[in-house]
Amino acid sequence: MPPQPSFPLHALQTEILEALVTGERFEAIADLLCRRAEQLAPEAVCSIVAISPDGRLAPVAAPSLPQHYSDAITGIPIGPDVGSCGTAAFLGQAVEVHDVSTDPLWTPYRDLITPLGLMACWSSPIKTRDGRVAATFGFYYRTKRGPTELERAIVNTCVHLFSIAIEHDHAQQRNHALAYFDQLTGLPNRRSFDDMMFERIVADDPAFGLLVVDIDNLKIANDTMGHVVGDGLIQEVAGRLADVAPNAACRLGGDEFAVLVDACRNHNELGVVADAIIRAMSEPFDCDGYTIMPQITMGGVVYGIDGNNADLLRQNADFALYHAKEIRRGAYVPFEKNLRTSIALRMSQIRTLDQALNERRVIPFYQPVMSIDGGVIEGFESLARIRLDNGEILSASQVQAALSDPSIAFRLTDQMLKQIAANMRSWLDRGLSIRHIGINLSTADFYRSDLERRLSEAFEAVGVPLKNLILEVTETVFLDGPGPDDKVVGVLQRLRQKGVMVALDDFGTGFASLTHLIRFPVDVIKIDRSFIDRMLLDRPSRLVVELLLDLSRKLEMRVVAEGIETQAQAEWLAELGCQYGQGYFFGRPIDAAATTRFIVAKNGVDARTPPLSRKRPA
C-alpha cells in the first residue's frame, strides 16, 4: 500500500497559502515549494521554470541544482523536443523521460544534466486559469525511472499550489500596473514619475534634465472631433515621446507628460532632446477619419542648475512651460531665473485686475481720435483704467500681462461695455456728437459665440446704435482665435453687417503680412505707435508708414496713426496723406466727465459733423 501523503501535503498547502497571504515574493514561494517537495520526496531534485510570454524558459527556483545549470537553460525557446520542461510547456502536458542519456528530447542538453548525476526528468505543466502554460514543475531523479504514486500526489498538489501563486502574482502585477502605469498610454504615471525622480536625485552624482510636455489644443480636439480623437492624440503623443525617450517618458495626467533626460548636465544637452521631441511631432497622423497634426509645448530644467530637489525642479519646469504656453506655443522654453519674476509679475497683475473687477473699480477712459490737422474729433478710443483706493489711476498697460488671461479679459470687456454704453447714452442725451467709440477686444471675447448678443444687450438696449462702435482687434485675435479658422472673421462679418466697424489694432507689431489685411474684414487700420515713434528717425519705419497709407487708400480702408506725440509727427503724417491721428499730441486718455468737457469745448453741443463713413462693403 502506498504511503499516505495527505497529512504532510495538507501542511504544505497551509504553509504555501500563508506565505501568499503574507505577501511573500513569487520567487521565495517557488523556492519554498521546491524545498518542501524535496523533503516529501527525498529522491527527487525539484525545479520550477517559468515560461516567458514569448515562450522561453525562465528558471524561478531550483534550490538543489547549481546556478550554472539554471543559467544554461535560461532563454531557451520551448518546443516539441526541448528536454522535459521545454517539451511539457510546449505540449501542455506532462513529459516523463526515464533516461536522459538516450531520449532524443534531451539530445542537445544531455551534457548539461548528466554531469550532475541526474538520469531522469519528469516535468508537469502549470497552467493559468485561461489554459496558458505559465511554468513547469520538474522532478529530476538520480536513477533511470519514472515517478512513484506518492510523487505524483506530491506534484499534483505542488502544481495546484503554484498555479494559485501564479494567479496571485498576476493579480498583483495588474494592481501594480494600475497603480504605476497610465491605462490609456501604457506610460509610467505620476506616481512612477515621482519614484523615478527620487531615484535620480539620490544617485551618487545626479545628472539629469526634466522636460514637461503639454499637448496644445487637446480640449479643442475633444470638443470639436470627439473623445476618440482626443484619446488618439494623447496616445500618439505618448508613443512618439516614448520613441524619442524610451523608458523615460511618463504621463502626469490629462494632456501633460514628463520626460527624464539622463546624463544631462546643461541646457544645451537638454535642448538637443527637446528639439528631437519637437521634430518627432512634426508628422500628421490619421485618427477616426481626421488628419491630426500633434502639437506640444515644453518647458525644461536641469538638475543642479535650476534646482536640486524634486519640488523645485518640477515647479521651475512648470514655470518654463507656462511661459512657453504664453509666448511660444508649439516650442520649447528652458527655465531661466527671471521667468519666475515675469510670471510672478503677471500673477500679481491678474490679482490686481481681478480684485478691481470684483469691486467695480475698472472704468473707461477716452482718448480722442482726431482728423490729422487736429480740427475734428473723429471719435474716441475707450481704454480701461483701474481706480485704486488712494485715488491713483492705473493704466491698462500697467496690467497688460493680465489681459491675456481669458476669464479676466472676458469680465473686463463686460464691465467696459456696460459703462461705455452708459456714457454714450448720456452724451447722446446731451446732444453731443460722439460718432465712433473704439472698444478693445481680446481673444477670449470670441471663445463663446455670444459677442453679438453681448454688444446688443449693452448698446441697443440703451438705444445706442451699433454703427457708433469700432471694435479694435489685434492680429493675434484673428490668428489665435478659436477654430475653425474663420470663426472670428465670421463673427466680425456679421457684426459689420449690423453697422459695427472693425479696426486692426497695433498694425505692424506682429507677423501680419499685408495679405492678412486683405483677408481680415477690417475697415480701419491702426498703425502701431512704434512706427510713429521712429518715423522721423529711421527710414524703414517711414517707408512702412508710407506703404501702409498707400495700400490702405487702394483698399479703401481708413488709417489711424497711433501715439502721435509731437506736431512734427502730425505734420509729416498729414503730408503723407494720413487722415486720422491719435496720441498725446491731440489728447491723453481722460475720464468720461473730462471727455464731455472736451467735446463741448471742441464741437459745442450738437455739433453736426458728418461721421466717419465706411466705404468698404461689409
Q: Which does 584 bind (CB under 5 to 8 A by kind): Ca ion, ligand C2E, none?
A: ligand C2E
**Between 292 and 424, whose beta carbon lies closer to ligand C2E?**
424
Strands 57-61 and 469-473, how do they pair?
unpaired
Burial environment of residue 526 by CB neighbours within 10 A (0 to 12, 13 to 18, 19 or more): buried
- The piece of 274-282, 393-401, 452-460, 476-484 that touches ligand C2E (CB under 6 A) is 393-401
CB 271 within 8 A of CB 332: yes
419 binds ligand C2E (CB under 6 A): no
Cβ distance to ligand C2E smaller for residue 139 or 507: 507
Residue 234 burial by Cβ neighbours in a 10 Å radius (0-12, 13-18, 19+): buried
Binder of ligand C2E out of 138, 232, 299, 583 (CB under 6 A) = 583
CB of 151 or CB of 472, closer to Ca ion: 472
Closest approach, Cβ 367 to ligand C2E, in A, equals 6
Residue found under cell 520613441? 243
Q: Is 334 in the site for ligand C2E (CB under 6 A)?
A: no
Which of 245, 353 has the CB closer to ligand C2E?
353
C-alpha span between 275 and 260 (Å, rounded): 14
Are 519 and 509 contacting, i.e. CB atoms less than 8 angstroms apart?
A: no
Which DSSP symbol is given to 474? -
The residue from 99, 117, 283, 584 that contacts ligand C2E (CB under 6 A) is 584
The beta-strand segments (E) located in 128-220 are 133-141, 208-215
- Which one, 423 or 440, has the nearer CB to Ca ion? 440
Alpha carbons 422 and 459: distance in angstroms, whole number: 8
Distance from C-alpha of 298 to C-alpha of 317, rounded to nearest angstrom: 9
Contacting residue, 16, 408, 416, 464, with ligand C2E by CB under 6 A: 416
Shortest separation between residue 466's beta carbon and ligand C2E, angstroms: 18
* Contact partner, 442, from ligand C2E, Ca ion, none, Cβ < 5-8 Å per class: ligand C2E
Closest among 57, 45, 129, 121 to 86, alpha carbons compared: 57
Q: Is 596 in the site for ligand C2E (CB under 6 A)?
A: no
Minimum distance between the CB of residue 442 and ligand C2E, rounded to whole angstroms? 4
Determine the Cα–Cα distance for residues 22 and 116; give it in Å rounded to an integer: 35
* Binding-site member from 163, 367, 569, 596 for ligand C2E (CB under 6 A): 367
The site map against ligand C2E for 443-482 (x = CB under 6 A) is: -----------------------------x----------
Angle at 327 between CA 490 and CA 256, to 5 degrees: 95
**Nearer to Ca ion by C-beta: 432 or 439?**
439
Q: How many CB atoms lie within 10 A of CB 353?
A: 27
Grid cell in block for residue 133: 502554460
Q: How far is the CB of 603 from Ca ion (least distance, A)?
A: 23
Contacting residue, 505, 512, 545, 580, with ligand C2E by CB under 6 A: 505
Which of 291, 390, 397, 515 forms a contact with ligand C2E (CB under 6 A)? Answer: 397
Among 189, 343, 319, CA closest to 254: 189
Position 440 contacts ligand C2E (CB under 6 A):
yes
Phi/psi of residue 551, nearest 5 degrees: -60, -45
| Distance (Å, whole) CA 526 – CA 579 | 12
Q: Which of Ca ion, ligand C2E, none binds 523 (CB below 5-8 Å, type-dependent)?
A: none
Tell me the backbone φ, ψ of residue 531, rounded to 5 degrees.
Answer: -70, -40
Residue 560's Cβ-side half-sphere holds a number of Cα atoms within 13 Å equal to: 32
Q: Compare residues 413 and 440 and give the one whose CB is closer to Ca ion.
A: 440
Residue 255, C-alpha cell as written in the block: 494632456
Three-state secondary-structure class, residue 65: coil
198 binds, among Ca ion, ligand C2E, none (CB under 5 to 8 A by kind): none
CA distances from 282 to 35, 302, 463 (A): 58, 25, 52
**Binder to ligand C2E among 61, 94, 229, 384 (CB under 6 A)?**
384
Residue type, 349: Q
Residues 524-553 that bind ligand C2E (CB under 6 A): 529
Establish if 294 lies at the interface with ligand C2E (CB under 6 A).
no
* 214 binds, options Ca ion, ligand C2E, none, Cβ within 5 to 8 A by partner type: none
Residues that bind Ca ion (CB under 5 A): 440, 472, 505-506
Count of residues touching ligand C2E (by CB under 6 A) = 24
Interaction site with ligand C2E (CB under 6 A): 367, 383-384, 395-397, 400, 403, 409, 412, 416, 440-442, 472, 505-506, 529, 563-565, 583-584, 589
